Amino acid sequence: MFVRKTPLLKGVLKAPPSKSYSHRAIIIAALDSDSRIINPLFCDDTIATIGLMRKLGAGITRSRRNNVSCLNVRGFNGIPRLRGKEFNAGESGTLLRIVLPLIALAKGKHTVSGQGTLRQRPNAAIVEALRSWGLNIHGRGREHKLPIIVDSDGYIRGGEIAVSGRISSQTISSLLIASSLAHEETTVIIRDKLVSRPYVDITIDALRWAGIGIKNKNYRVFKINPRPSLKAKGDFLVHGDYSSAAFLLAAACLVPSDVTLTDLVEDKQGDQAIIGILERMGAVIKRKGNSLKVRGPFELKGINIDCSDTPDLVPILAVLGCFAKGASRLYNIEHLIYKESNRIAMPALELSKLGAHIHFTRKELLVKRSILQGGVVSPHNDHRLAMALAVAALKAGGVTIQDTRCVSKSYPMFFQDMRKLGANL
């Protein structure tokens, strides 16, 4: 993908549906009887989720309602009817961690695998947690990398469990969903710091739709009463994704623009923090109902940003820091080493190829105002890094981004949408 300087971004776009809500709605609906999901996201990760839930026994078909895409889900009522012995989670860490205990609801020995960088990501937290429930489960090596073997007698015991939340919140989301179908009341105790807390909020929100109430004591203790069955309360409507919209908002703040993004409701998504961050940097974001309007560009200033709850924003925040007066410090990001790429080192490496003054440690990124120029960069098969580099290129011009197909992991229409707004791609 070759990107030239873009003189103007203008237009109205509906934000792509939330990937986090789509994942959870599909999985929880598969545990239920019959339900419908309106406006789900169709990307590599959610397509992998649909496929895996079908292999667990759910019937999932696509339809349209009032010109909006829908998924009609016939669930397996908490008792999977597994189709085969091997299951592939694609490249989705969320899907992998959530599906492991659900496979244990069926008797037998099964193998869970994945693709790409997911095969090298650590899974010790979820494997050790499930072992404490008495499950026979193990992966490769001390970190329990893929493939993972689940050998189950067909039920989840539940009960009190202490887990680490320092590397990923996906373990906690997995346990909360599985606990709804456990034999005993479950208490999940976080023994250290819980990162990415808003993703747990999204899980709790989706479980509430299925009739499961969770007591949350300051993100330190969660209590879940099991239910004999889940029952969805009407249709599940998926709204726009702030994680994906962040790239569009950032682009509109850097170049001349008149951009409106729609379907961005105020829900549990942590990445809606991008609005406040941009405002702190000097941008003006106007909300009217569920729409956000930006008329850029703005003279941005560098700020300090705690990213412990918003890891997906780090690549685009690093780009914004390159064009902000002074310096920007992105901290509490040590858990980003374990994403699709090392999201601490790789943004620093690739932006520095364009002239960025950017330094990193294991825990933070320090970005100074820079004059970016053309060059050749790689996203390292990381969808969010690819989109962030594209935004930087709109301002710098003359940038070739290699292997941009990885954006299909979360936002397949990203480049098409950018072209609709006038991006010179």
Catalytic positions, written as ranges: 312
Give CA–CA dist 116/380, Å, rounded: 11
CB neighbour list of residue 218: distance below 8 Å, 6 or more residues apart: none
Cβ(157)–Cβ(133) under 8 Å?
yes
SS3 annotation, 313-380: HHHHHHHHHHCCECEEEEECCHHHHHCCCCCCHHHHHHHHHCCCEEEECCCEEEEECCCCCCEEECCC
Sheet holding 221-224, edge to edge: 160-163, 186-190, 221-224, 214-217
Tokens of 334: 């040590």
Q: How far apart are CA 7 and CA 333, in angstroms?
A: 33
**Calpha distance 256→271 (Å, rounded):** 24
3-state SS assignment for residue 111: strand
The Cα 32–Cα 177 span in angstroms is 12
Q: In whole angstroms, what is the distance from residue 222 CA to residue 417 CA?
A: 40
Residue 164 CB contacts under 8 Å (≥ 6 apart), including other chains: 125, 171, 190, 191, 192
Under 8 Å CB-to-CB from 281, ≥6 apart: which residues?
A: 253, 298, 300, 301, 302, 303, 320, 324
Give the bridge partners for 328, in sequence order. Answer: 367
Listed in sequence order, the residues at least 6 apart from 52 whose beta carbon sits closer than 8 Å to its beta carbon are: 87, 88, 89, 95, 99
> Which strands make up the sheet holding 86-88, listed edge to edge?
86-88, 107-113, 145-153, 136-140
Is the separation of the CB atoms in 248 and 13 below 8 Å?
Answer: yes
